[in-house]
Structure 1
Amino acid sequence: MKTSQSKFAASLIATTALFGFTSIATAQEQEATTEDQSFQETIIVIGTPGGAGTSRQDASFAVTAVSEDDIARLSPQNASDLLKIIPGVWSESNGGAGGANIDVRGLPGGSDSPFVLFTINGSPIYGTNMLSFMDQSVLFRVDETIAGVEGLRGGPNAIFGKGEPGLTVNFNLKEGGPETEGRFKYTTSDYGLQRVDGVLSGEISDDLYYMIGGYVSSSKGIRDTQFQSEEGHQFTLNLTKELSNGDLNFFVRTTNDHTPWHVPFNLNGGFDPGTFIQLGNETRFREITVNAAGDTETFDFADGRGFDGTVAGGSAEIDLGNGFTLRDKFTYTKASVDTLGFVAAGTAVQAGALTSGATPIVTGPVQTTAGQTLSDTDFVQTYGHWVVFKDIDALINDLSISKNIGSHDLTAGLYSATWSTKDRWHLGNPIAVHNAHNGSPLAGVTPTDIANAGGNAGFSFGLVESGDATSTAFYLADSWQIIDPLRLDVGLRYENAEIDTVVDTGPGYADGTIDTNSTLDLEETSYTVALNYDFSDDLATFVRYTDGYTLPDFDDIRGGSPQTLDINQTEAGLKFNNGTFQVYATAFMTETTNFLNVVGGTGAQNFETESLGVELEGIAELGNFVGRVTATFQDTEIVAANNAAVVGNKVLRQPDYQVRFSPSYTIEGSGFQTTIYGGLSLVGERFGNNGNTVVLPEYEKFDLGIQTHFNNGVFFQIHGDNLNDSDGITEGDPRNPTAPNGRPIFGSSVKLSIGYDF
């Protein structure tokens, strides 16, 4: 009954938004004022040749613009949590500050974020979308220096992104202006968060502007580890110089931020799934053997998962005259992206299974190293201390030149990138623990004992790896205004990439024998074609076909699957905006071939998928009330695979539907303005594996907040997240799909911010 009610509610909200908004707007046809048109005139940078920019209403692709106010009301836990406002995106943002699993409509994923690219001011942060223990959300932290976010799905990503029609998330930094402006903000929470944000901008000299800002933050986390496990700071400088024939920009962003790596755990322990964490003071430090000589190191697992490094970049746009415009964007990234986590190794068992029977596995009561005696019904489990050191760097440049010739806007571009990774892993390192919040290791009990009682013994695996890659791509694009309402947008990209990988693996550490020493030289071509038709200033439509690809990365080579994924996608979109009502709907059909999936403990599965669906974004601005709905409905299917048993099944971890409704109401008072806002998320049932035997139930999540701004610059905000304390499970156990382990979303929390704008 619950399933049918939720599906009905989701369908009702989406249908009402699409048809209700449109019919009301048509009935109320009115002349929109300049103020009303502010949303329509939002300039979209991502998805345009060289980052030239276009209005959202003119874009022949699916893109969402997220404003600074939207970010504040979302109050995201991390960068991936921000993506919940973008239709067509499913973000498992409960893994910590980074390391989310992010799936994109129509594309198979299942682990990490194989089709997601993060950019700053339109330039990529790293050369490939993901590596083991590193997705794009690890590389970015949201703070007050962000002016807005763009989320592009499909289409132009295949030409101006990384050759694939997935998701590009672009973070635009704030820029300075002639007036000095700033913000200071302090934030605390019911879980002990202490955070200070600040931003300041202004003019250095004529036509030279600055923006500086950042944050310092510390807490034990919603999942309390008994120590300050969430700590970080960030500083950003952005300089802009206006020229008589263009502008120059340079930014540098240094970050050192980490949180625990939150992973699936036993769900039968009788604890609160929204706040549980196994890691605590008793398991924080671990001495681990790191080489065949028996040398050891002691690691502090308070370091968790995070980003410690610098991203610098810049851009130039120069009007060369005679209709020519030169644009260049670049980024340089150098960072450590380390992961130290405490990871469950399969099934938990009750302590009584160790001590019962004619020949008990353990003699006497089961005790912890802290001196606690466990009852027979207490759960015990094997956990492992996982250590991953990963140093990355990347230099990326995108140079383009555009020329307007009559009804044609032509662009030619050269994209070049070099990137690398150096890894050292010590995975597994199993230990038997009391499966309780901040549980202690067991005294006299080994992982083998746990396995003999029906659990798992764990494993140990290690490696050192060095990977280097270069990519050069040429692209051509034309926007041809065939007749006044009809425009043709086309793009073509040719890419040549060389990927080198050297790997030495072993039992918990490298054994001195090279296992992989490979070089790939790859060539691929992608293209996209779109027609955009304007029925009026308010109403337009587009159709687009894209043939794209995803190149293999270092991990694919190490795993013996250096193959290119082919992606074909057809899209049809409707765009309506009269300043009061906006509706953006995109239907999509996607086919993929050569996708390799190793999630689920069943070995490599090479398969093909087909997906059909529609995504919707609707906004209504009715006086002081603003209603926003985003929704995605899709049907995914594995149509071919080397494992015949999964053919006909749904792609793992992608729901048939997800809907978010975000209303707000603003009260104007004498000397103040107060906005009450909320968010209701409905997520459909998913499967934790391609065999579709592990069900991840549907769930609902409710958020509520209030913001008040006073005319003297003082403001405050109270934000309640997951107030219904939903235990929504985002993934099962990726290594042991039949184990009763899962990773729930964070439990309910409340944050309070107070600040001053000047």
Structure 2
Amino acid sequence: MTKTPLTKSVLAISVATAFSLSSTVTAQETNTGDEPADDLFEQIVVTGTASGKAQRKVESSYATTSLGEEDIKRLAPKSTAELFRAIPGVWSESSGGVSGANVFVRGFPGGGDAPFLTLQLQGVPVFPPPTISFLENSTLFRIDETIQFMEGLRGGPNSVVSNGQPGLTTNFILKEGSEVTEGSFKYTTSDYDLQRVDGVLSGEVAEDLYFMVGGYIQQSPGIRDAGFTSEKGHQFTVNLTKELDNGKINLFSRVTDDHGTWYLPTPLVEGVDNTYTQIGTLNRQATVQFGPDGESQAFDFGRGRGWDGAVSGGSVELDLGQGWSFVDRFAYTSGEANTFGLVPNGDPVALSSVADNGTNAQGAVTGNVYAGDTLVQQIGRWVVLKDIESFTNDLALTKTGDRYEATLGYYRANFSSNDWWALGNHSYHVIASGGENLTGIDCNDNQDSCAWNYDINSTGDGTTSALYAALKYELTDTVTADIGVRSEDHEIEYTVDEGLDGVITKAVQYDESDVAFTAGANWQFEKDMGVFARYSEGSKMPYFDDLRDNFGRFQAGEDLIVDVTQFELGYKLARANFSLYATGFYNEVEGDTFQTQPGAPVQVLTNEAYGIELDGAYYADNGFSVTLNATLQETEITQSPDNQGNEAQRQPGWQIRVTPSYDFDLGDYYGTVYGTLSMVDDRFSDNANSVVLEGYEKLDVGVIMYAYEGFSFEVAVQNVTDEDALTEGDPRSVNSPNGRFILPRTATFSVAYQF
């Protein structure tokens, strides 16, 4: 039996496939030992221009990174945002759990969430606003066995296509069926008692009509043991493809109900390590007060953060003849993205300093008496109920000639978010994993005597419509140039009841337009080597929370649009068994805002950054391979009321990830052993650069064994050395001794059967 090396996979791609941003797939030739390996690094890109025509990645004029199914498996991400670490230029803080990550790109400013990230499924944004409070795009997406590959495009033509995201756009592509019926079943467990089952099945329904169905069901007490089932969920996906004589129709639906603990900064005191979590059996249920009359309601904070909803959509792609082609992509998203969190507030203190009797206090659940030297901390019980909905449509008409490709497109998105918040509700808890609330403390027994509360009831609707055009032209046989322009109109209708007293305190009717622009050139001086240059101007439009937090600026008529200018210069090399993509970048982000927490003062900033991204790989004939991605960057806050001249917060000056692997035979089995070494520079916790987060190294390893009968086994260990580095300090109280650890060491075991 001929064995195919695990590093070489086959993926069929239709040249007619069109997405509004590039969707890259590694089309590495299957090498049986008889064919030459000249095409081992031939990578096909469905271009980042509006037309979506396929081209070789080495001929593209922008920076993309592709991760196939095997790549994703070896990275073993605990959340969607954790996968983004494999993209050069991206710093992803996925230490918050399955949802609620912070994602930064190329030195763009940000204090939390992911304001410069758009996540797409099948080439369509899952939710057009990149970030609204307590919701960034990766919260709405779970990785499973139905994913064929993912691509990350940063900068480049992003400001013109799709939803006009100038930063990072990640696009996940689903598996499709074929004439062959095939599938897989996979069971996974772990040292933290994860129980998960994945399955996928694909095949042919009728002539030229194909299906793929799959999903998962899982539960666990969490990577940091909460003492109960704190992570629970399931997902089901169906993908239908109809091949036409002149194109293709695709329809998909992805239904998800999945949530997990929201991991937050912990007190950095003796006895607390990276296994600590605030939530536990003794405090998961709590009653919070809200509104002017102190109305109260009980909530289960064990639900953490998650997504209960569906993303459904599809595309129509047609070859109209005589060089004309048409594509329409659409998606409808609806569901609940709620947040229940135990949020630290301020410093740890001795119980005696806050107890009513100055000596001790009792546990609210157990009745235990805690001595005065017990460390306690104020914990805010935060509740965010969020219902979202959106419908997005993106259509494009393309004319292709002998030396040119011209596209005209129209993008429209309608979206809404209805929110109910009760933030604050501070109460002193014992500092211990799942530490209980106390009685005998005025703050705990009389909420009116405690600190900050911020309650709102809001409703918002938005519409974004954009007309975009792009032209790509072959100046010579080796030089191409492209240009794109986008004219966008952005409307927001938004009202807020702050205080939950029935009084509308802020009402917004916003209607502004902006124009984005990109131009690039590529010189392909050899078939497998070239350079490119690109200039882009884009923007980040204000959404609901931006208008609430900047309401005074809105009333004063100030411009709330964040302007982004980018330059890129890249080198590309793709030989038979190795590749290297190096991209230098410079960007300026003007008019972005920063706020420590809702209701706090807003600072308006301008940031500049420059650096270089490296994305390389090498495959040896003996089964050894290694991939590298690295980012080196310098950031500076060039305009700020207080922090001018400082570095941007929470972004490392350099980060490097090296992933070696080795394929081997072992009797009747063959397999791969692999690892990833991640190295990260120091960062500043805040824009004032007053708190340093030390750099760290993290090692992940794994082994996969394959049997010819279709069975495979995998063991993966992440954070082998149990590194206890921090991803952030306390963003709400910079000088408090609190910080959020990276996830602790975990081990998972999987057994799978493919047929």
Report the 3-state secondary structure (helix = DSSP H, G, I; strand = E; otherwise coil) of the residue aligned with 1:700.
Answer: strand
Q: In structure 1, what residue type is equivalent to 2:322?
A: N
Report the 3-state secondary structure (helix = DSSP H, G, I; strand = E; otherwise coil) of the residue aligned with 2:526.
Answer: coil
Is the contact between residue 351 and residue 375 of structure 2 (CA under 8 Å) also seen in structure 1? yes
Is the contact between residue 368 and residue 442 of structure 1 (CA under 8 Å) also seen in structure 2? yes
- State the shift of 1:54 in Å: 2.9
Is the contact between residue 179 and residue 203 of structure 1 (CA under 8 Å) also seen in structure 2? yes
Q: How far, CA to CA, are the matches of 1:108 and 1:295 in structure 2?
A: 38
Q: In structure 1, what residue type is equivalent to 2:504?
A: I
Could you tell me which of 731, 745, 748 is aligned with 1:748? 745
Q: In structure 2, what residue type is equivalent to 1:329?
A: R
Q: Specify the alignment match of 2:39 in structure 1.
A: 37
Is the contact between residue 194 and residue 221 of structure 2 (CA under 8 Å) also seen in structure 1? yes
CA RMSD in angstroms, aligned pairs only: 1.8
Q: Specify the alignment match of 1:730 in structure 2.
A: 727
Q: In structure 1, what residue type is equivalent to 2:538?
A: G
- Point out the more displaced range, 297-306 or 666-675: 666-675
Q: Output aligned runs, 1:232-271, within 5 Å.
A: 232-271=233-272
Q: How far, CA to CA, are the matches of 1:409 and 1:167 in structure 2?
A: 25
- State the shift of 1:580 in Å: 0.6
Q: Specify the alignment match of 2:275 in structure 1.
A: 275
Q: In structure 1, what residue type is equivalent to 2:66?
A: A
Q: How far, CA to CA, are the matches of 2:100 and 2:463 in structure 1?
A: 25
Q: Specify the alignment match of 1:224 in structure 2.
A: 225
Report the 3-state secondary structure (helix = DSSP H, G, I; strand = E; otherwise coil) of the residue aligned with 1:329.
Answer: strand
- State the shift of 1:538 in Å: 1.2
Report the 3-state secondary structure (helix = DSSP H, G, I; strand = E; otherwise coil) of the residue aligned with 2:43.
Answer: coil
TM-score, normalization by structure 1: 0.91
Is the contact between residue 549 and residue 602 of structure 2 (CA under 8 Å) also seen in structure 1? no
In the superposition, relative to structure 1, how do residues 638 and 34 fare at CA in structure 2: closer, same or farther (>3 Å)? Answer: farther
Q: Which runs of 5+ in 2 are unaligned?
A: 1-33, 555-559
Is the contact between residue 359 and residue 371 of structure 2 (CA under 8 Å) also seen in structure 1? no
Report the 3-state secondary structure (helix = DSSP H, G, I; strand = E; otherwise coil) of the residue aligned with 1:345.
Answer: strand
Q: How far, CA to CA, are the matches of 2:601 and 2:415 in structure 1?
A: 29
Is the contact between residue 51 and residue 405 of structure 2 (CA under 8 Å) also seen in structure 1? no
Is the contact between residue 493 and residue 526 of structure 1 (CA under 8 Å) also seen in structure 2? yes
Q: How far, CA to CA, are the matches of 2:637 and 2:39 in structure 1?
A: 43
Q: How far, CA to CA, are the matches of 2:637 and 2:694 in structure 1?
A: 21
The C-alpha deviation readout for 1:498-542, integer Å capped at 9, x for no partner, is 111100011xxx111101111111100011111101121111110
Q: In structure 1, what residue type is equivalent to 2:148?
A: A
Q: In structure 2, what residue type is equivalent to 1:501?
A: Y
The C-alpha deviation readout for 1:603-629, integer Å capped at 9, x for no partner, is 321111111100101100012011011
Report the 3-state secondary structure (helix = DSSP H, G, I; strand = E; otherwise coil) of the residue aligned with 2:98.
Answer: coil
- State the shift of 1:706 in Å: 0.4
Is the contact between residue 529 and residue 544 of structure 1 (CA under 8 Å) also seen in structure 2? yes
Report the 3-state secondary structure (helix = DSSP H, G, I; strand = E; otherwise coil) of the residue aligned with 2:269.
Answer: coil
In the superposition, relative to structure 1, how do residues 363 and 350 fare at CA in structure 2: closer, same or farther (>3 Å)? Answer: closer
TM-score, normalization by structure 2: 0.92
Is the contact between residue 107 and residue 651 of structure 2 (CA under 8 Å) also seen in structure 1? no
Q: In structure 2, what residue type is equivalent to 1:346?
A: G
Q: Specify the alignment match of 1:386 in structure 2.
A: 382
Q: How far, CA to CA, are the matches of 1:600 and 1:295 in structure 2?
A: 23
- State the shift of 1:222 in Å: 1.4
Q: How far, CA to CA, are the matches of 2:35 and 2:389 in structure 1?
A: 48
Is the contact between residue 401 and residue 412 of structure 1 (CA under 8 Å) also seen in structure 2? yes
Q: Output aligned runs, 1:417-436, within 5 Å.
A: 417-436=413-432
Report the 3-state secondary structure (helix = DSSP H, G, I; strand = E; otherwise coil) of the residue aligned with 2:152.
Answer: strand
The C-alpha deviation readout for 1:179-217, integer Å capped at 9, x for no partner, is 011010000000010000000000001110000000000
- Point out the more displaced range, 552-561 or 59-68: 552-561
Q: Specify the alignment match of 1:9 in structure 2.
A: none
Is the contact between residue 607 and residue 635 of structure 2 (CA under 8 Å) also seen in structure 1? yes
1:703 aligns with 2:700: yes
In the superposition, relative to structure 1, how do residues 128 and 491 fare at CA in structure 2: closer, same or farther (>3 Å)? Answer: same
Is the contact between residue 545 and residue 570 of structure 1 (CA under 8 Å) also seen in structure 2? yes
Q: How far, CA to CA, are the matches of 2:326 and 2:733 in structure 1?
A: 53
- State the shift of 1:97 in Å: 1.0
- State the shift of 1:458 in Å: 3.7
The C-alpha deviation readout for 1:475-498, integer Å capped at 9, x for no partner, is 111110110010001111000111
Report the 3-state secondary structure (helix = DSSP H, G, I; strand = E; otherwise coil) of the residue aligned with 2:109.
Answer: coil
Report the 3-state secondary structure (helix = DSSP H, G, I; strand = E; otherwise coil) of the residue aligned with 1:42.
Answer: strand
1:587 aligns with 2:588: no
Q: In structure 2, what residue type is equivalent to 1:37?
A: D
Q: In structure 2, what residue type is equivalent to 1:572?
A: L
Q: Output aligned runs, 1:658-673, within 5 Å.
A: 658-673=655-670
1:124 aligns with 2:114: no
The C-alpha deviation readout for 1:365-393, integer Å capped at 9, x for no partner, is 34323233434443101101111000000
The C-alpha deviation readout for 1:323-366, integer Å capped at 9, x for no partner, is 100011011000100001111111111234347xxxxx534334
Q: Output aligned runs, 1:152-191, within 5 Å.
A: 152-191=153-192
- State the shift of 1:303 in Å: 1.6
Q: How far, CA to CA, are the matches of 1:33 and 1:638 in structure 2?
A: 54
Q: How far, CA to CA, are the matches of 1:102 and 1:362 in structure 2?
A: 45
Q: Which runs of 5+ in 1 are unaligned?
A: 1-31, 356-360
Q: In structure 2, what residue type is equivalent to 1:305?
A: R
The C-alpha deviation readout for 1:54-77, integer Å capped at 9, x for no partner, is 331121100000010000000000
Q: Output aligned runs, 1:336-735, within 5 Å.
A: 336-354=336-354, 362-369=357-364, 370-447=366-443, 457-506=450-499, 510-560=500-550, 561=553, 563-599=560-596, 603-623=601-621, 624-641=623-640, 643=641, 645-735=642-732
Report the 3-state secondary structure (helix = DSSP H, G, I; strand = E; otherwise coil) of the residue aligned with 1:483.
Answer: coil
- State the shift of 1:600 in Å: 7.6
Q: Specify the alignment match of 1:300 in structure 2.
A: 300
Is the contact between residue 48 and residue 54 of structure 1 (CA under 8 Å) also seen in structure 2? no
Is the contact between residue 633 and residue 656 of structure 1 (CA under 8 Å) also seen in structure 2? yes
Report the 3-state secondary structure (helix = DSSP H, G, I; strand = E; otherwise coil) of the residue aligned with 1:552.
Answer: coil
- State the shift of 1:106 in Å: 2.8
Q: How far, CA to CA, are the matches of 1:341 and 1:600 in structure 2?
A: 14
Q: How far, CA to CA, are the matches of 1:594 and 1:475 in structure 2?
A: 24
In the superposition, relative to structure 1, how do residues 169 and 223 fare at CA in structure 2: closer, same or farther (>3 Å)? Answer: same
Report the 3-state secondary structure (helix = DSSP H, G, I; strand = E; otherwise coil) of the residue aligned with 1:37.
Answer: coil
In the superposition, relative to structure 1, how do residues 121 and 53 fare at CA in structure 2: closer, same or farther (>3 Å)? Answer: farther
Aligned residues: 711
Q: Identity across aligned pairs (percent)?
A: 41
Q: How far, CA to CA, are the matches of 2:697 and 2:546 in structure 1?
A: 36
Is the contact between residue 106 and residue 589 of structure 1 (CA under 8 Å) also seen in structure 2? no
1:58 aligns with 2:59: yes
The C-alpha deviation readout for 1:529-566, integer Å capped at 9, x for no partner, is 11101121111110000011110110011112550000
Q: How far, CA to CA, are the matches of 2:562 and 2:36 in structure 1?
A: 45
- Point out the more displaced range, 215-224 or 280-289: 280-289
Is the contact between residue 382 and residue 457 of structure 1 (CA under 8 Å) also seen in structure 2? no
Q: How far, CA to CA, are the matches of 2:650 and 2:540 in structure 1?
A: 20
Q: In structure 1, what residue type is equivalent to 2:363?
A: T
- Point out the more displaced range, 402-411 or 243-252: 402-411
Q: How far, CA to CA, are the matches of 1:443 and 1:291 in structure 2?
A: 23
Higher helix share: 1
Is the contact between residue 50 and residue 328 of structure 1 (CA under 8 Å) also seen in structure 2? no
Q: In structure 2, what residue type is equivalent to 1:741?
A: N
Q: How far, CA to CA, are the matches of 1:269 and 1:459 in structure 2?
A: 28
In the superposition, relative to structure 1, how do residues 335 and 93 fare at CA in structure 2: closer, same or farther (>3 Å)? Answer: same
Is the contact between residue 361 and residue 369 of structure 2 (CA under 8 Å) also seen in structure 1? yes
Is the contact between residue 252 and residue 314 of structure 2 (CA under 8 Å) also seen in structure 1? yes
Q: In structure 2, what residue type is equivalent to 1:697?
A: E
Q: Specify the alignment match of 1:88 in structure 2.
A: 89
- State the shift of 1:162 in Å: 2.6
The C-alpha deviation readout for 1:13-53, integer Å capped at 9, x for no partner, is xxxxxxxxxxxxxxxxxxx97755244233345x2314334
The C-alpha deviation readout for 1:402-442, integer Å capped at 9, x for no partner, is 00123111111000110000000011111111011111111
